[in-house]
Amino acid sequence: GESVGLHLPTLSVQEGDNSIINCAYSNSASDYFIWYKQESGKGPQFIIDIRSNMDKRQGQRVTVLLNKTVKHLSLQIAATQPGDSAVYFCAENEYETSYDKVIFGPGTSLSVIP
Amino acid sequence: EADIYQTPRYLVIGTGKKITLECSQTMGHDKMYWYQQDPGMELHLIHYSYGVNSTEKGDLSSESTVSRIRTEHFPLTLESARPSHTSQYLCASGSGLYGYTFGSGTRLTVV
């Protein structure tokens, strides 16, 4: 079929190193952000979220940083493992004022080198 | 494990055939969505629903149609499949505020 959009950027990381995946979002009014992980042959899975009144949130081995000044979001994965190999999507949502529609970023393909 | 189910997982069908992709969720979510995704590419919203009898077109123009007669069921139909419809179709439900739950997708190939 006809492809729409850009091919995903890729990131290769050595097993055990930390990974940083970056995302620029478009809507300055977005107030909620989510990172999703999509493994091959599966649908995206929720990893971690952050509200616009925060600039950092930590989960298990993952940290999300939000910089509203430059509309930038990052996902940090500590001690990257082979199971972290996947495509990672950031998503933004203007929940309070819009009709609750999530906008997905283009995604980054993470490859973990054993 | 996600409580949203898509069938079939894979479908190969001839040009001109009518097909319906099924999506069901058991979480009682009012909001459901269909996304189209080519391999290694972005997600594009093609349809969404905020509840029974509510359907809207998404950002990416699509020749498919949807219906929402029951809360748990959100099928997508292609009246006449074409090779350009070859893609992966992902169904999701939930509120944007708490994150969507996605199904495993239907990979459609039209020959």
Interface test with A, best of B54, B97, B108 (most A CBs within 10 A): B97
**pLDDT tens figures, B69-89:** 999 999 999 999 999 999 999
Q: Please answer yes or no on whether B101 and A6 come within 8 Å at the CB atom.
A: no
Q: Which residues of B52-82 are buried (b: 16+ CB within 10 A; e: fewer)?
A: eeebeebeeebebebbbeebbebbbebeebe
Averaged pLDDT of chain B: 92
> At residue A99, does pLDDT exceed 70?
no
Count of A-B CB contacts under 8 Å: 80
Q: Looking at the domain assignment, is residue A64 inside a domain?
A: yes
Nearest to B56 by CA among A29, A99, A65: A99
In chain A, how many domains are there?
1
Q: Is A57 on the interface with B (CB under 8 A)?
A: no
Q: What is the CATH number of the domain that holds A72?
A: 2.60.40.10
Q: How far is B69 from chain A (nearest CA, A)?
A: 21
Confidence tier at A27 by pLDDT (50, 70, 90): confident
B102 contacts A8? CB cut-off 8 A: no
Across residues B83-97, what is the average pLDDT? 90
pLDDT over 50 at A58, yes or no: yes
- A66: in domain: yes
Q: Is position A5 within any domain?
A: no
For residue A93, what pLDDT is reported?
A: 84
Range of the domain at A20: 10-113
Domains annotated for chain B, with CATH where assigned, are 4-110 (2.60.40.10)
- Mean predicted lDDT score pLDDT of chain A: 87
- What residues in B contact A1, CB-CB < 8 Å? 38, 83-87, 110
Dist. CA A87–CA B83, nearest whole Å: 26
Q: Can you give the pLDDT at residue A7?
A: 56
Is the residue at A2 inside a domain? Answer: no
